[in-house]
Amino acid sequence: MKHNNGSIEVITGSMFCGKTDELIRRLRRATIAKQKIQVFKPAIDIRYAVEKVTSHAGAQFDALPVENSSEILNRLEEDATVIAIDEAQFFDEGIISVATKLAESGLRVIVAGLDTDFRAEPFGPIPALMAKAEKVRKLRAICVVCGDDASRTQRLVNGEPAKYDDPVVIVGADELYEARCREHHKVPR
């Protein structure tokens, strides 16, 4: 079933806010609607399963790992109507033009990814994708310190907040990261 108009949807927020769960929920609904789905993820993300997007809660959906954004266009199946891209913050800036091209060709493009890095600064292509999207859903996690809504991702090194100059991209889960509110998010300089 083809869509009348293409679109870009972005699901974003901090780590542990449910981005991948929301992505999978939308994909399950598209499956019920008998739409042809293709899911892509960055090959760098091997935390749970190589050929699946997997939420921290354990939900999974089959996915194709790709090295860069242009590979998505090369692996696109002709009858696909819904294209999902998880962990989009890890892709090169070309993901913006790939998502735009797919939407302009009439496909529904669903992108999930972190909007900010551990320093609470814009992360990779996500802010630009948010600007180009027809729909944006920003989710919040729960601060592990106080229990309030969390919009930040706290990276930890030996149990302490990572320093501002530490590398931006380190793939990990709850062994390296926590959800924090603005007040409890710390990034020493």
Antiparallel, parallel or unpaired: β 82-85 and 64-66: unpaired
The residues, ordered by sequence, that sit 6+ positions from 171 with a Cβ below 8 Å of its Cβ are 44, 45, 46, 47, 90
Closest Cα partner for 152 from 180, 173, 122?
180
**CA pair distance 57, 107, nearest whole angstrom:** 28
pLDDT given for residue 132 in this prediction:
97
Give this prediction's pTM. 0.91
- Cα–Cα distance list, 82 to 114, 115, 136 (Å): 21, 22, 17
**CA pair distance 37, 93, nearest whole angstrom:** 23
Sign (positive/negative) of CA torsion 39, 60, 49, 154? positive
Sign (positive/negative) of CA torsion 44, 84, 177, 186? positive
66 phi and psi, to 5 degrees?
Answer: -130, 150
In tens digits, the chain (189 residues) has pLDDT values of 555 689 999 999 999 999 999 999 999 999 999 999 999 999 876 555 667 777 777 777 889 999 999 999 999 999 999 999 999 999 999 999 999 999 999 999 999 999 999 999 999 999 999 999 999 999 999 999 999 999 999 999 888 999 999 888 776 555 689 999 999 999 998
The catalytically annotated residue of 9, 87, 104, 121 is 87
Contact between 187 and 120 (Cβ < 8 Å): yes
The domain 7-139: what is its CATH number?
A: 3.40.50.300
The residues, ordered by sequence, that sit 6+ positions from 112 with a Cβ below 8 Å of its Cβ are 10, 11, 12, 19, 20, 22, 23, 84, 85, 86, 87, 88
Q: Is 77 annotated as catalytic? A: no
Domain ranges in the chain are: 7-139
